[in-house]
Structure 1
């Protein structure tokens, strides 16, 4: 009886120890299972094929895939393949896509204090060094946090399409030649207000519709960076460019915050670190190649029309009231505008 009891006790102890070992091993097993999970990252945007921004997104996707050793499956869909800008922005907020890009001004309706960082209203950025002081410092980090809290996306890095200029079917050399011009603008109020102040006829249209709108006469021109003009071949429909430097458009690299938070800590770091690395390179490339892109436009028959500093100053003076108008949206908006201008 006693030996039977002791044998049973020994078996019970062995079973307990084995169960304990198995229990202790469970977190390691779970950890290994988690490490083997694959997280899909759909990157979709409306930037042109071959532009510095699109090239940076391609590199970013490759870098995430390689550095995560395949645990992140980053898939890249440029040039509005998954929808226009409005759809892409909404997709990034709700998580149907994981990453996209747009100017911070795209959040005007939800977080108006962010919109100023997208160059709103025009002439807020003096030069590229001013842009870097704003976006690569404490203010840039603050904007990312606001975006996360209010819109459900985190700005993990900032790229840029750079200064924007006017492309039109007829020469634009002064305010008189701009008067009444049907110029395409993003579907945002601040852009409409800007061009109305200058006497143009702003026409809000989706980004992807500009070529057709030029060819059918819905618009007479548009305003954009040189890379996009080349990439989308808008120059085939409008042959006159005016370097106006009226609006500098940073591009926030927007990642759905819920998706980012669902990643293991090491993968979160890979997403953020690789984004900062690739879009630093993108900004450098963009600035180095802007003049070359203008030369390429000249080579395909685009005429360049200069405006002097006195004329440009008139444009800035006419749109200057927008700082107060835009700032009146909220005290925080006015505060942010003041912070940006103080770093000029």
Structure 2
């Protein structure tokens, strides 16, 4: 790492420590959790449950502070602070962790598993725990749990979409991780990375022609106001996790380490089930607000994106995941 990069990282570390320390409780340990989610999102309700259960079970020795709407900064910035040992955590997808341990990227690959039940089987397996240990060594991050399901991601456009050819020339916002970018390209669109907070304005000003996201995020960001069609492609099964600093985690007493991982898993299950239960209502409300929610045959999209695995070097890992899902 260069001297300049070290200086920037140190400065950012200091800024975040100042932010998360301000107003900290009298607890022995404090963890600040940052998320891009809004407070209305079912997953955020799960974070509130995580906070309450950790604080209760630890008898007040551990405090959890929640920062919705990315109040502490971008996911990538928080991951850097965690690497530096700051007592912070971020709700993040596998694509952003794949830069450290490649295997995490397969979690965001197209049609890798069906629904929460399918993807949960992967992220609670011994195979996944091996990835967790590799991540600790590679980047200094600790996964608390990775069973925070946000739903399947669908296509948002202002023109009807039934087959990949309908997306030719359509600029679609997606996160910048390679597996997401390649998936959108394989679906026929022009992948355009942008921060989530800029999607509404970019759609409104026609900087982009479309986006892709899961129902709770679409509703929470009011994208039904700037997109006419929600086409249910279900191309990415969005599973996320709470990721913190391995150095900070290792500094905790063993009982606190166990408590954090167990309560994260429990709250993740609760939040994910709440997400499952909310999807139909989100779609109903968006329909009432004028958006057309369209079911299609996803077979052409599944076939078009099958090449993503080999292209990114996930062919063999895809076979292992398939074998796990069939057990």
Calculate the TM-score normalised by the size of structure 2. Answer: 0.86
Q: Which whole-Å CA distance do the structure 1 matches of 2:191 and 2:248 have between them?
A: 37
Matched, 1:231 2:235: no
Residue in 2 aligned with 1:154? 142
For 1:243 and 1:317, locate their aligned partners in 2 and report how far apart those are by CA, in whole Å. 16
The one of 306, 330, 336 equivalent to 2:317 is 336
Cα deviation code 1:101-150 (max 9, x no counterpart)? 1111212222112211x222x12223433212212222232222222222
Q: 1:103 aligns with which of 79, 86, 93?
A: 93
Please give the alpha-carbon distance, in whole angstroms, between the structure 2 residues aligned to 1:249 and 1:128. 9
Residues 87/289 of structure 1: CA separation in 2 closer, same or farther (3 Å cut): same
Contact in 1 for aligned 2:87/2:248 (Cα 8 Å)? no
Q: Following TM superposition, by how much is the alpha carbon of 1:69 offset from its aligned partner in structure 2, in angstroms?
A: 2.1
Aligned partners of 1:307 and 1:209: how far apart in 2? 28
Q: Which residue of 2 aligns with 1:63?
A: 53
2:207 aligned counterpart, secondary structure: coil
5 Å-filtered alignment, 1:17-32, equals: none
The yes-or-no answer on 1:301 pairing with 2:282 is no
Q: Distance in 1 between matches of 2:222 and 2:295?
A: 22
Q: Extract structure 1 runs of 4+ deviating beyond 4 A.
A: none
Tell whether the 8 Å contact from 1:113 to 1:334 is kept in structure 2 after alignment. no
Alignment correspondent of 1:46: 36
3-state secondary structure, aligned to 2:295: coil
Taking the aligned partners of 2:203 and 2:86, their CA distance within structure 1 comes to: 32
CA distances 1:32-80 after superposition (whole Å, capped 9, x unpaired) = xxxx961121111111221111111122122222222221121100111
Give the CA deviation at 1:247: 0.8
> C-alpha deviations, 1:214-266, integer Å up to 9, x for none?
12211111111000011111222112101111110110221211111111122
Tell me the distance in 2 between the aligned counterparts of 1:168 and 1:97.
Answer: 39
- What count of residue pairs does the alignment treat as equivalent? 299
In 1, Cα distance between equivalents of 2:181 and 2:173: 9
Distance change >3 Å, CA 239–CA 326, structure 1 → 2:
same
Aligned to 1:261: 250
Distance 1:235-1:148 versus aligned 2 partners, 3 A rule: same
State the alpha-carbon separation in 1 of the partners of residues 116 and 263 from structure 2: 22
2:218 and 2:46 map into 1 onto residues whose CA distance is 18
> 1:138-149 counterparts in 2 under 5 A?
138-149=126-137
Task: Return 5+ residue gaps in structure 2 as ranges.
Answer: 1-25
Q: CA RMSD in A?
A: 1.8
The counterpart of 1:323, out of the listed 298, 309, 315, is: 309
- Among 276, 282, 292, the alignment partner of 2:281 is 292
Instruction: Tell me how far apart the structure 2 counterparts of residues 269 and 322 of structure 1 sit (CA, whole Å).
Output: 37
Q: Distance in 1 between matches of 2:274 and 2:92?
A: 18
Q: Whose helix fraction is larger, Structure 1's or Structure 2's?
A: 1
Q: Which residue of 2 aligns with 1:129?
A: 117
Deviation at 1:306, TM superposition (A): 2.3
1:97 deviates by 4.8
> 1:79 & 1:180 partners in 2: Cα distance?
31
Q: Comparing 36-45 with 202-211, which one deviates more in the overlay? A: 36-45
